[in-house]
Chains A and B, each alone.
Chain A
Amino acid sequence: MRRIRSWWPGFVLVLPTLVLLGIFVYGFLGWNIRVSFTNWRGFTQTNGFVGWRNYAELGENEVWWRDVRHLLVFTLVFVAGSLLFGFVMALLLEKGVRGENAFRSIYLFPMAISFIATAIVWRWLLDNGTGLNTAGINKLFAYLGLGFLRSDWHKSDSGWAIAAVALPAGWALSGYVMALFLAGMRGVSDDLREAARIDGAREPQVFWHVVRPMLWPVVMSAVVILAHISLKTFDLIYALDLKSPKIETPALYMWFQTFQGNFYARGAAVATLLLLSVAVFIVPYIWYSVRTERRR
């Protein structure tokens, strides 16, 4: 096909977006990184260059390492749990069951609800009252004769309290994982499955040898999306139990340091580390996605 058009009008049309994102994404990211190398502390900005000092101070800060540990536990439980639940739900729905649409809608609707509203309900469901004040999930356990499962959830003193936050987070997002898996499973052509069946494969074998290998891209997408959400999560934890040191993560630490303590440079250093930890897997992911698309 003859190319008779000129490219510049297209560029002009995209230009406002490029300028806006250039400033608000790349400009601000750079500005934030610069702040992380200064001694800005207090309400007025100061630009004294202090090199890596803010980062070095974080390295010696116990609260920071406690929060990093919280984040690792949360990410692990949340990602693994949502993957498992999402996968099981997709597997159960894959063959087509009666009422599939209803089930799918029920599993997915939490995506439409804000983390604030989610946290406000879950803080009561994860209530840790005892005796006559037993409530929430603990009370359900008691009704079902499973009283020994009672837990203090996110108020536990064990150091694993943050794992309980994976419950509302997983409630909100495992439906999403289910949708990704379901699309992946159904993207496997019938011809391929049929060919395996004719070769004498039974259903579990068809799944294992034909469908499973094709689900790796889905697993990758799901892990990348869940992990980056977990790193950023602020509102869910903030609203679940305000200022609880048991469930504080770096995203909240950044907030308290910057906007309540006025330690701007330190907050910027934390934010830069968050950005880097997201970038390590998001950049390859975008690169991979764009490349796969171009090959098609």
Chain B
Amino acid sequence: MTVEALEADRGQAGKIRSRWSPYVSTVRYLVLFALACFFLMPVYVMVVTALKDSVEVSVPGMWELPQRLSLESFQAAWDKPAIRRGFVNSVLLAVPASLISSMLGAANGFVLAKWRFPGANIVFPLILFGMFIPYQAVLIPLTRFMTDLNLRGGNDPTGGLFGLTLIHIIYGLPITTLIFRSYFAGISDEIIESSQVDGAGMLRTFFFVALPVAPPAFGVSMIWQFTSVWNDFLFGFVMTSTQGWPITIGLNNIANVQTIPFNEAMASALLASLPTLLVYVVLGRFFMRGLMAGALKG
């Protein structure tokens, strides 16, 4: 399954037009539009509510437009340590985790696609399985192991953030390996082999032949990893203490306080979603490819 197939524009040639087709087309657009409204509904509530001031905001009035625009809720959300520090923590977490995981994934993907060793056919499915495991099934050993290494929560000067980065690098390896393996598999063997005829070893072939053509795969892999790390909750929850909280933990904690004003909750949720949304809007095509890779080969 490829994204090219998805993006291919299907022509209208050969279609027999029946007299019903104008109605069919109208209904089609109506349904598409209704669905779009359904998907945008939460965004509407988030934005509209976040723009209201504390006097105007109310839960029953969530569908009403703000009478006067106010940014006070964003200010209030950003002033909360859980959000501001969480945001910074998440950046410090997600950027290195996605970079390092992608680099290791590139090496693995290259080897598994183009420089196979005996047993590579067994190793690859074993790596893939790591992508699908319920993380609950590693949680108890993981917390013990990281506690013993002094990399968890309070014992660690970064509040567990460093250990959490390692965890995301490791559990990201299956998907990054898969993305790069699929990508390199699509590159002709001749390029690799001609470089060998020139006497280049594996590392040189990897660095000077494979990597220069791999930026698209890097895009897919980085975005996928960045999104999953940014949005992770479970690992951050067990690994970090207050000062190391990623934004999802901070967001959850402040939103669970009954007294938080509705507009501040929405503003916080918006702030927490901004980076991944931005990535999606700007680099949506890469995002899509990551999704397709995540489904293996259908």
Contacts and interface: CB of A to CB of B under 8 A. Distances in A.
Interface of A: 1, 4-5, 7-11, 13-14, 16-18, 20-21, 24-29, 31-32, 35, 45, 85, 88-89, 92-97, 103, 105-118, 120-122, 124-125, 127, 129, 132-136, 139-140, 143, 171, 175-176, 179-180, 182-184, 186-187, 190, 193-194, 197, 202-203, 217-218, 220-222, 225, 228, 231-232, 234-235, 238-239, 242, 251, 254-255, 258-259, 264, 267-268, 270-272, 274-275, 278, 282-283, 285-287, 289-290, 292-294
Given A113-B276, A135-B60, A225 B1 contact: no
Contacts of B295: 180, 221-222, 225
Nearest to A282: B132
Contacts of B251: 114, 116-117, 120
A107 B39 contact: yes
Interface in B136-171: 136-142, 144-145, 167, 170-171
Contacts of A8: 117
25 contacts: A7-B118, A13-B206, A17-B104, A24-B130, A27-B141, A28-B141, A28-B142, A31-B140, A35-B141, A103-B32, A112-B287, A113-B273, A113-B277, A114-B248, A115-B233, A121-B45, A124-B45, A129-B59, A186-B6, A190-B11, A197-B16, A222-B295, A228-B132, A234-B234, A271-B136
Contacts of A251: 134, 136
A115 B108 CA distance: 30
Contacts of A4: 196
A13 B111 contact: yes
Contact of A286 (B115, B125, B173): B125
Contacts of B288: 108, 179
Given A17-B173, A255-B136, A96 B63 contact: no
A258 B143 CA distance: 11
Contacts of A10: 111, 115-117, 120, 202
B233 A32 contact: no
Interface in B211-235: 227, 230-231, 233-234
Contact of B202 (A13, A179, A254): A13
Given A114-B276, A179-B6, 15 more contacts: A7-B115, A13-B108, A24-B138, A31-B140, A107-B35, A114-B272, A117-B251, A125-B41, A171-B42, A187-B5, A220-B298, A221-B1, A271-B137, A275-B134, A282-B129
Contacts of B130: 21, 24-25
Contacts of A232: 134-136
Contacts of A7: 115-118
For B11, B144, B233, B281, which residue has the most chain A Cβ atoms within 10 angstroms? B233
Interface in B42-66: 42, 45-46, 59-60, 62-63
A121 B238 CA distance: 24
Contacts of B144: 45
A268 B137 CA distance: 7
B59 A271 contact: no
Nearest to A272: B137
A136 B62 CA distance: 7
Main secondary structure of the interface of B (DSSP, over half): helix
A197 B16 CA distance: 9
Given A10-B115, A13-B107, A186 B62 contact: no
A184 B45 contact: no
B93 interface: no
A17 B116 contact: no
A202 to B, nearest CB: 7
A286 B8 contact: no
A118 B292 CA distance: 22
Main secondary structure of the interface of A (DSSP, over half): helix
A109 B138 CA distance: 30
Nearest 7 A/B pairs, CB to CB: A114-B231, A235-B233, A10-B115, A112-B280, A275-B137, A31-B141, A28-B138
A120 B296 contact: no
Nearest to A264: B140
A105 B9 CA distance: 16
Contacts of A105: 281, 284
Contacts of B16: 197, 202-203
A290 B124 contact: yes
A238 B129 CA distance: 26
For B112, B126, B201, B230, which residue has the most chain A Cβ atoms within 10 angstroms? B126
Given A25-B133, A221-B296, A282-B132, A109 B140 contact: no
A133 B60 contact: yes
Contacts of A286: 125, 128-129, 132, 296
Given A89-B35, A136-B62, A286-B129, A274 B134 contact: yes
Interface in B160-202: 167, 170-171, 173-174, 177, 189, 193, 196, 201-202
B46 A121 contact: yes
A87 to B, nearest CB: 12
Nearest to A293: B297
Contacts of A85: 35
A112 B230 CA distance: 10
